[in-house]
Amino acid sequence: MKNLAVSIIIPNYNGADVIRSSLAAVYEAACAYPGDCEIIVVDDASQDNSLQLISEHFPQIKVVTHTRNKGFAEAVHSGIRVSLHPILILLNTDVFPDRDFMVPLIRQFQRQDTFGVSPLITDRSGRPGRVSWNRGKIIRGEIRKANWELDKAISLAHRGADLKSLYAQGGAAAFRKEMFLKLDGFLPIYKPFYYEDCDLGIRGWQQGWKTYFEPASTVVHDHRQGTISRFFTAKKIKITKKRNRFFYLWLHLSPATLIFSHLPWILLRLLWRLVRLDVAFILGFFSALPAFGKVMKLRKQYGPSVTGKSLEDVLSEIGT
């Protein structure tokens, strides 16, 4: 197998408490990889000593700096603009890759239609994250993720099965750069965070490009040290996640499901959430509602009527 050249891109915002140890793991993995590999840190206007730490301990790493904070998606795009290689690996600062995680991940790009690949993402105790392998189905106008067992996934992979996945989680994923750029990358409507990677994955599938789960590649995601949880309140995170989930569904559900299932069920869910005092869901919906027209315009550019594939079609293609 030809060892494709790789650019590792790591967005950073005030990550001094964790970046030295995470970069050490990333650098070890890059050195172990038998192909060309560069590491790019995009500092998103940090106010701590992140840049000093990188300069002192990792002078060989390329650094891009923002003079003002622009968020995750823009940091990724800035890194891509200066990247040299055809395969991108995106890693959060709180992700610690296994030394040999790159070879099985990059091996999936032997297929010319591979767009993205997700490694096995675990927590600090080794427990697999469900987000490593994304499948599901539409129920009452909502997407419901399918549960899976790691032993079964590994067994399927050993038997040569394709572990198709709806998307590769943006905090630890590999992408083919040419395809990423053709899709216009992460859409700004999802700022400041969440669901931009879900959206990107389905837009890849709509183009006929595949995303896979590769359980032989392992990284540890230490959520306790993540940028979002450190700098945003739990309430803000929940509301943003709910809002962006609405954007995602409004953009990619088929017209029939959107009109006759999703929208009617929203009314019932709002009533039920009101009874349960689920403030995040209610505020998420009402923060999404003013942008409904904007999402409808995006449907004309990226939606099912343009690509011929809805979210339901893609989920059917992936299987459960």
Last residue of a domain, one of 230, 257, 289: 230
Q: Are residues 198 and 260 in the same domain?
A: no
Q: Are residues 188 and 94 in the same domain?
A: yes
Q: Are residues 85 and 225 in the same domain?
A: yes
Last residue of a domain, one of 204, 230, 256: 230
- Does residue 317 lie in a domain region? no
- Does residue 288 lie in a domain region? yes
Last residue of a domain, one of 230, 255, 282: 230
CA angle, 142 then 147 then 152, to 5°: 150
- Residue 104 to residue 314: CA distance in whole angstroms: 25
Q: Are residues 26 and 143 in the same domain?
A: yes
Q: Are residues 253 and 173 in the same domain?
A: no
Q: Are residues 259 and 190 in the same domain?
A: no
Q: Are residues 88 and 179 in the same domain?
A: yes
Q: Are residues 281 and 297 in the same domain?
A: yes
Q: Are residues 178 and 244 in the same domain?
A: no
Which structural domain, as residue segments, surrounds residue 220? Answer: 6-230
The pLDDT of residue 243: 97
- Does residue 170 lie in a domain region? yes
Instruction: Give the count of domains, the chain.
Output: 2
Q: What is the pLDDT along the chain (320 residues), one digit of tens a residue?
A: 578 999 999 999 999 999 999 999 999 999 999 999 999 999 999 999 999 999 999 999 999 999 999 999 999 999 999 999 999 999 999 999 999 999 999 999 999 999 999 999 999 999 999 999 999 999 999 999 999 999 999 999 999 999 999 999 999 999 999 999 999 999 999 998 899 999 999 999 999 999 999 999 999 998 765 566 666 788 999 999 999 999 999 999 999 999 999 999 999 999 999 998 899 999 999 999 999 999 999 999 998 888 889 999 999 999 86
- Does residue 314 lie in a domain region? no
Q: Are residues 23 and 124 in the same domain?
A: yes
The pLDDT of residue 225: 59
Q: Are residues 223 and 179 in the same domain?
A: yes
- Does residue 320 lie in a domain region? no
